[in-house]
Structure 1
Amino acid sequence: MEGAAGRMDAYETANTMSGTVHGYVVQGHNVELHVPSGAQPATPHQVRKPRPVFVNREGELSALVAALGRAADGGPAVVAFTGLGGVGKTELIAQFVHRYGVHFPDGDLYADLAAHRHDGEVDLGAVLGGFLRAFAVERVPDTLEERAALYRTVTAERHVLLFLDNVERAAEVRTLFPSAGLVVVAGRRRLPGLRLDGAEVLDLAPLGTTAGAALVRRWLGPERGSEQELRELVEQCGGLPLALNAVGFQLLDRGRLGVGQVLAELSDRERGLSSFSNEEGGVDGVLDSVYRRLPRTTRELYHLIGVNPGPLVSAELAAAAGIEQVDQGLAELRSAHLLDDVVDEGPDEHYRAHDLVRRHAYERVRELPERSGLFARVVEYYRGRAFLADVAVLGSRLRLQEPAGEGLPAFTSGAAALDWLRTERANLREVVRAAGEQGRHGDVWRLCESLWPLYHGGKHYDDWVETHRLGVDSAQRDERPDAVVRMRNQLARAHYELRDFPRAIEQLVAASELVPLVVDPRLVGVLHETEGLLCLADGRPERAVELFTLARAENEGDAHGVVVQGYNLAQALIAVGRPEQAVAVLDEATELAEAEDDGPMLMRLALVGACARRALGLLDEAAALAAEAGRRALALGQRLKEAEALRLLVTLAEESGDSGLAERSRSRLGELGDEEAHIGRGGT
């Protein structure tokens, strides 16, 4: 069996088998569990391909080659390069991987820490999660500690190269070191602290005039420009390959443009970005020259780079922003090395601009009258797509905002929507922040409401807390007490997940003060729900039963809300030792969920139903429901819930003495990357 469709058979329940089954097949009483055979581990190749022309970095390449020997002795070996932005650190590593990739048979990993840094801190958990998924680990643990431990396990038997870009402090990267292989670190700031890790720390200087002139000569050929002109061009570009690439594109794209003409423009033009003049060697003048020659539609796309608060742009975003000839513009910007690095492949590729380019683009668009309208369209796009993603993942749930996203492409599945949310996470966070700064408070809380499936399902706690604090403030400024209640409740859930119960209670108390101002009783129900979860967590299940009962009553008339609160109430009833009542509640909720075709809740109800039957000693029925929950979770792409179902199957199999079922369930857990797959056979 291949893919998710093939793995659906893993949870079929029956007493007999027929036909051909690929992979493991086990039976436990009346439960048959088909577990697919293990897939081959993935070999990631994340460092971008090198450019065809490269000069004057032989010393640095030699240092990397020397590090290969240290890595072979047990690793990881660490090399750090520091230098100005645009000096060519990324190209150096791309060249090295291209030439010496045979030394890394298990692949190469890449992370730009600037894309994961906010409020001065890097979301290391997100970076590790990306690495684990690159190795085809399907179930990524929730906590940073668990992810780091699993990452060390995954890399222990692999020889990989890890490239960490835009590093600011040594402490940011130590958690990301693999167990073996070569680590290459690049950053603008010097990183002496890495020497404590045995790293070789080298400064990467700009190209000298001779080497830089040789680079440009290889592009232009022998006929264009004198040697003196080329050397002056290198000086004007500060020896930065980024700037030289941009100018080189203009010279190649316009064969009649003379090197002397470009020099005159660079020398005579008034400086536009004084902050770049000293630190970055006058790159602003270079980029101004390129910018002036861009076609109108491509220039509008460049403006989008400056307006978009986040680090990524896509063709879909550009089209939604009203930009014409998007594909042509993307091609031109990539050719000029103003837009680079395909972040992901698929129907809507994402691109990243160098931070120098982003700052320059921001300066070019900052004073334009169309800037505010362009920013509004960016916010509207993210609001609409996030709303559509929320609906695709969670279906019909309580939403305060009106429908959004008309005219935008729909998601083909909840899994596709989650993929988009994960890819755009940094953009979404920055759009929330920028919209708040621009006074677009209605957009802020609406975006936060739609980000629930991303944060609650992905456990991105730093983003969750930061955006929802802004959401609370914006809902207050928007004079929407119902939205304030919603934002405080979602923020309380983040603190609950972090087991910071005092802060969770603080948010609930503040939200409760606004209850007299809200009309929809379901908002009261969600507050009861969160308080009930807190009571379950701190050992007060009887009170939780009362609160979930109240929450269910407040949701009367809302099928999804009634189902959710029935699910919660059943868990509380099991906790107080009343599994018979729990079964009755679950049966009623399941009938309603089936009528509504509420797949995500049917999965959760089956899982809790298995726990209730286990408490009643009905192990065969419990196993059947756990298998159903696992099958539904697999179909929905809910890896956490699939792992939860499998762990329960392990427990049920051991309690019933079915060692085969337990072993095969552990095998599937191992494929999900769940660390609990490695527990001893004595139980979970």
Structure 2
Amino acid sequence: MLLRAIGTTLGKGLKQLSNTRVKYGSVMDFSVLGPVRAFLDGRPVPLGVRKQRFVLAVLLLEANKHVPADRLIELAWPEGEAPNTARAVIHTQISRLRATFAGSEDVALVREGSGYALHVDPLRVDVFRFRDLCTRARAETGERRIELLEAALALWEGPALSSVATEDVRLRVAAPLEEARLGALEDRFEAYLGLGRETEIIHELAEAAAEHPLRQQLVAKVMLALHRLGRTPEALAAYQRLHRHLDEELGIEPAPSVRRLQVRILRDDPSLMPFSGPRQLPPDVDHYIGRHDHLDTLAGLFDPAGRAPAVVAITGKPGLGKTALAVRAAHRLAARFPDGQLFVDLHGAGPRPRDPAEVLARFLRDLGVAGADLPVSLEERIGLFRDRTATRRVLVVLDNAAGEEQLRPLVPGSPACGVLITSRRRLTGLDLRGLIDLDGLAEADALALLTELDPRVPAGDESAREIVRLCGGLPLALRIVGAKLRSRPHRTVAGLAARLADERDRLDELVGGDREVRAGFLLSYTGLEPAQQRAFRLLAAMPDTGFAAWAASAALGEDFRTTERLLEGLVDVNLLECGRGEFTPTRYHFHDLIRLYAKEKLAAAEHAAAWSRLTDAYLYLGKRADARLEFGGLHQFTPPPLMLDAPRLVAEVERNAPAWLADEYPSIIHAVELSAAAGEDATTCRLSATVAAFLELRAQWSDLKRVAELSHAAATAMDSPYWTAYALFALGLAARETRDFATAERSFRSGLAILPSVGDPLLEVVTLLSVGVSHRLLGRWDEAAASFAGCLSRLDSLAAPRWRAYTLREYGVVHRYRGEWAKAKEFLTEAITAHRALGDVRWEAASGRELGIVHQDEGNHAAALEQLTASREALRSVGDHRREGATLRCLGWVALEAGELPEALAYARQAKETLGQTLDAHGLACAEVLLGDIHLAMGDPAAGRAHLDRGVAYLAGSGDPRWRGKSRLSLGRHLAAAGDPAGARAAWEKAWEDLSRIGAHEAATVRALLDR
């Protein structure tokens, strides 16, 4: 009868929803909260006699658990009344139930040992849905809690297990369910009282208390509701009735909590009245896109379970939408904090952050404290604020906080309260349950925001993508752009993107009405100390590729420790961001728009001084690092002294030069470009030289070409033969490795023509060596051999053992190409010995790879495999992916020649994967040719042809006649296997033309095929 009074519209709706299934087959649902029933696809199913329905009810209550047969017998025949045939009767009922379930695909009644188990999705049984809803309700507050509890109670259609057993048996089995129902009913009443909605439930509440006169918490709720409704005499009479019932039936007094409630009612305690707390949240943001993960994280962080209030912070740079995220999250969380939501802008980014005492005075007034009763001191206000929130669930939103000192007094003491903070500072000194460090919107979300703000923005439009990039994903900037496009129909997306692309005007474009990106940055800047403001300005002179603390120290002209403190201070207020480097654990960078603002604040004289100090440091450290590289140490110039107070920096750079250059080469390249643009020719040439060897080491050919071109222009402008020759050497190297042999030869020849007048014999040797490598790759092996012989002759008078070792290796490769195995082994063995003496693992292994190929060409498979395996391991140990991939390709070829096809395929696939991590397109094409050969040998020419065609297509235009010929040799084999002898012969004729012209030993193989 009580359940009829519950407003069940929502509950019935949820129940209907729970009975709605996507039908992949017939499904069955069960109810035990009332009559025991079953439904197949929503239609009632006959369940037989009462005892059979009772057995089903017990199995449903223990769904997916083992229920002993003795337990079923004991419940079905209480007090020892079971006949001798009881077990057979139970078995018969189980069999009939199985037949009933035969039409369902998701219910199984199985025998388990001496009992049975009913396997079913628990949420198809109403009792489990009831428990699930009650569990979810305990984690919610306010209206949401009421909704869930009413949905749970609406599942009840009468006494549980009605009409399936005698009343005493039913009560025995269903007693826990009835207790759970009453508990849910009490929780529902509590939720209504928590919202001050006594009028809606008073009659139902009184009826429930009358039905259960000894349930003290029900009576207490009746007393509170009556008192709030102005019916205090009735409230006290309810207490007297409870006292009398307990005394007469149990001989006890009411519980202490109920007695205290009676005293508070007698005293007319004002705290008993419903609290109408402040509702101060700003309106939610319109056109809000993205941040779903952050909103979900915030919802989880404000879980009410805990011993301390949930204190959560959202931090980040200006313009990211911290306040918008906090407001949206607060609106979602409001139901969990029914006693009020306080909101205040703490003005933390401005020059005058709000005084915590002033904020507490406002909060206390909002919580009902009269102005005359406000304490004077901060400590007293903190105490009163925590007292007033001690028994309430209040959310405090503290927007734009200045720092920990301002925040600590504003945190309530009750674990039922929550605090949501936004700040530009990272708040590392505050005890937080969670911290969300906000970043710019992802591109997809940023584009969606633009489209929502102005539907004219086409989805996926390239100009829109450019706007997103130029705005750095800042929601504020994107909103200003979107509003401009919407309010000014004559503006186009492409036109606005073009205007934003000009750095000088970008911040001027990001102004709309009273919203301006620059204004947010200004607040942060004015809040800095003078030393921090200077650092902020000067760091705008840094390359926008990121920088280490030592580089900042150089630009600022400060000692290292002072610089680190300044940098961390700017990070704390989110004006700088952090990343990681290979050499330096922490690297710093600006957000693009913040960097533009810093540039606006930077005076020309400050920029010039900072830039001069920085480039001096790059020149000094770059020259030291370059000297430690394999192909480094060629350039001749005296760098300026290092004016840095950075202990151990030089030693660390020299000890790990490749890692230092891996971090710094983008900044050095940027510095080269800026120096060239400023007409600083000498600096341009010197900076280019410090990074050239590293770019060669990492196969960064486009970058090498760029700095070499700038260096060549600068050297020409200042009429410097030396720097012209050096730039021509670098240009030739970049051209050669990208198979632009004509440019390479022209650059090398021009450099060699200048070098005799320069007086740098080592650079002359290295350039001649590079010319020889070009000849080798072009198949001009006589000219290559002459170049290498000339290098060795000149090196006899130079103390340059490393360059001698390189030359020996190259000379050995030429002999290998010609099939001159003995001479190849002689030169390669000497190269290996020389590199080993130098401790050069990489080039010892690279030379060993060439020797391994010679062994295989001589037919010594075991020696080849041993040598190549050792070389591969060494190259992997030093991280040389390019040469490791080439060695893996050789191992695949050796395995193919030996008929070990699975091993060959594994090596070739590894080679392709490894080379795919590099910029070596030529090596990748050679691996594709090998894969084609292996698949052909394995009897899968179709798969092999796909690989081969990719390799042949690249090598046809590579300018390398040897590999072009080898790829055509493989192509002929595929065509022959495919039954195209004419095509095969044409391919082999082209291969013969390439290979015989240069004298490659593979030409003999082609000739044999043509002569068959």
Give the partner amino acid of 2:553.
A
**619, 622, 636: which one pairs with 1:400?**
636
Matched, 1:61 2:284: no
- How far apart in 2 are the matches of 1:342 and 1:54? 36
Give the partner amino acid of 1:651.
W
State, as a whole percentage, how many aligned pairs show the same letter.
18
1:161-180 alignment runs, 5 A limit: none
Judged with a 3 Å threshold, the aligned counterparts in structure 2 of structure 1 residues 58 and 297 are, in CA distance, closer, same or farther, namely: same
**626, 640, 651: which one pairs with 2:868?**
626
Report the counterpart of residue 596 of structure 2 in structure 1.
Answer: 359
Could you list the runs of 5+ residues in structure 2 that have no partner in the other structure?
1-281, 295-316, 329-438, 482-503, 917-923, 938-947, 949-1012
1:253-652 alignment runs, 5 A limit: 276-280=507-511, 282-284=516-518, 286-321=520-555, 322-324=557-559, 325-340=562-577, 342=579, 347-368=584-605, 370-394=606-630, 397-402=633-638, 409-410=649-650, 417-477=657-717, 479-556=719-796, 557=798, 558-652=800-894
Instruction: After TM superposition, give the deviation of residue 318 of structure 1 in Å.
Output: 1.6
- How far apart in 1 are the matches of 2:915 and 2:440? 24
Q: Judge conservation of contact 1:165–1:187 (CA < 8 Å) in 2.
A: no
Task: Provide the secondary structure at the position in 1 that maps to 2:675.
Answer: helix
Report the counterpart of residue 114 of structure 2 in structure 1.
Answer: none
Judged with a 3 Å threshold, the aligned counterparts in structure 2 of structure 1 residues 519 and 647 are, in CA distance, closer, same or farther, namely: same
Q: Judge conservation of contact 2:548–2:586 (CA < 8 Å) in 1.
A: yes
Report the counterpart of residue 679 of structure 1 in structure 2.
Answer: 931
- How far apart in 1 are the matches of 2:327 and 2:868? 50
Cα deviations by residue, 1:216-236 (Å, 9 ceiling, x for unpaired): xxxxxxxxxxxxxxxxxx9xx
Instruction: After TM superposition, give the deviation of residue 283 of structure 1 in Å.
Output: 4.1
- How far apart in 1 are the matches of 2:842 and 2:327? 47
Q: Judge conservation of contact 1:342–1:350 (CA < 8 Å) in 2.
A: yes
Judged with a 3 Å threshold, the aligned counterparts in structure 2 of structure 1 residues 549 and 294 are, in CA distance, closer, same or farther, namely: same
Cα deviations by residue, 1:71-125 (Å, 9 ceiling, x for unpaired): xxxxxxxxxxxxxx986499999999xxxxxxxxxxxxxxxxxxxxxxxxxxxxx
- How far apart in 1 are the matches of 2:835 and 2:510? 61
Q: Judge conservation of contact 2:626–2:693 (CA < 8 Å) in 1.
A: yes
Instruction: After TM superposition, give the deviation of residue 275 of structure 1 in Å.
Output: 6.1
Instruction: After TM superposition, give the deviation of residue 469 of structure 1 in Å.
Output: 0.8
- How far apart in 1 are the matches of 2:448 and 2:654? 37
Q: Judge conservation of contact 1:166–1:188 (CA < 8 Å) in 2.
A: no
- How far apart in 2 are the matches of 1:530 and 1:435? 28
TM-score, normalised to structure 2, is: 0.41
- How far apart in 1 are the matches of 2:638 and 2:287? 59
Q: Judge conservation of contact 2:544–2:589 (CA < 8 Å) in 1.
A: no
Instruction: After TM superposition, give the deviation of residue 608 of structure 1 in Å.
Output: 1.6
Q: Judge conservation of contact 1:415–1:637 (CA < 8 Å) in 2.
A: no
Give the partner amino acid of 1:639.
H
Task: Provide the secondary structure at the position in 1 that maps to 2:579.
Answer: strand
- How far apart in 1 are the matches of 2:672 and 2:650? 22
Give the partner amino acid of 2:753.
E
- How far apart in 2 are the matches of 1:476 and 1:639? 37
Task: Provide the secondary structure at the position in 2 that maps to 1:435.
Answer: helix
Instruction: After TM superposition, give the deviation of residue 521 of structure 1 in Å.
Output: 2.1
Instruction: After TM superposition, give the deviation of residue 55 of structure 1 in Å.
Output: 6.7
Judged with a 3 Å threshold, the aligned counterparts in structure 2 of structure 1 residues 326 and 479 are, in CA distance, closer, same or farther, namely: same
Aligned pair count reads 473
Instruction: After TM superposition, give the deviation of residue 373 of structure 1 in Å.
Output: 2.5
Cα deviations by residue, 1:154-182 (Å, 9 ceiling, x for unpaired): xxxxxxxxx99999xxxxxxxxxxxxxx8
Judged with a 3 Å threshold, the aligned counterparts in structure 2 of structure 1 residues 197 and 352 are, in CA distance, closer, same or farther, namely: same
Judged with a 3 Å threshold, the aligned counterparts in structure 2 of structure 1 residues 375 and 64 are, in CA distance, closer, same or farther, namely: same
1:137-152 alignment runs, 5 A limit: none
Cα deviations by residue, 1:305-358 (Å, 9 ceiling, x for unpaired): 211133313223223433352333223322333212535588431222122221
Give the partner amino acid of 2:558.
I
Give the partner amino acid of 2:626.
D
Judged with a 3 Å threshold, the aligned counterparts in structure 2 of structure 1 residues 238 and 673 are, in CA distance, closer, same or farther, namely: closer
Q: Judge conservation of contact 2:616–2:639 (CA < 8 Å) in 1.
A: no
- How far apart in 2 are the matches of 1:353 and 1:575? 52
Task: Provide the secondary structure at the position in 1 that maps to 2:588.
Answer: strand
Instruction: After TM superposition, give the deviation of residue 560 of structure 1 in Å.
Output: 1.0
Cα deviations by residue, 1:398-442 (Å, 9 ceiling, x for unpaired): 343447896662576999644443443432221011122344333
Cα deviations by residue, 1:435-474 (Å, 9 ceiling, x for unpaired): 2234433332222222234322333333222211111123
Judged with a 3 Å threshold, the aligned counterparts in structure 2 of structure 1 residues 58 and 308 are, in CA distance, closer, same or farther, namely: same
Task: Provide the secondary structure at the position in 1 that maps to 2:593.
Answer: helix
Report the counterpart of residue 253 of structure 1 in structure 2.
Answer: none
- How far apart in 1 are the matches of 2:912 and 2:283? 44
When structure 1 is superposed on structure 2, of 573-582 and 563-572 the one drifting more is 573-582
- How far apart in 1 are the matches of 2:620 and 2:283? 43
1:167-246 alignment runs, 5 A limit: 195=459
- How far apart in 1 are the matches of 2:711 and 2:455? 37
Q: Judge conservation of contact 1:313–1:351 (CA < 8 Å) in 2.
A: yes
Q: Judge conservation of contact 2:288–2:449 (CA < 8 Å) in 1.
A: no
When structure 1 is superposed on structure 2, of 482-491 and 657-666 the one drifting more is 657-666
Report the counterpart of residue 657 of structure 1 in structure 2.
Answer: 899
When structure 1 is superposed on structure 2, of 193-202 and 341-350 the one drifting more is 193-202
1:13-162 alignment runs, 5 A limit: 56=285, 59-61=288-290, 88=320
Report the counterpart of residue 298 of structure 2 in structure 1.
Answer: none
Report the counterpart of residue 249 of structure 1 in structure 2.
Answer: none
Report the counterpart of residue 229 of structure 1 in structure 2.
Answer: none
Q: Judge conservation of contact 1:86–1:240 (CA < 8 Å) in 2.
A: no
Q: Judge conservation of contact 1:164–1:185 (CA < 8 Å) in 2.
A: no
Q: Judge conservation of contact 2:882–2:914 (CA < 8 Å) in 1.
A: no
Q: Which has the larger radius of gyration?
A: 2
Instruction: After TM superposition, give the deviation of residue 664 of structure 1 in Å.
Output: 5.6
- How far apart in 2 are the matches of 1:54 and 1:520? 74
Where relative contact order (Cα < 8 A, 6+ residues apart) is larger, the structure is 1
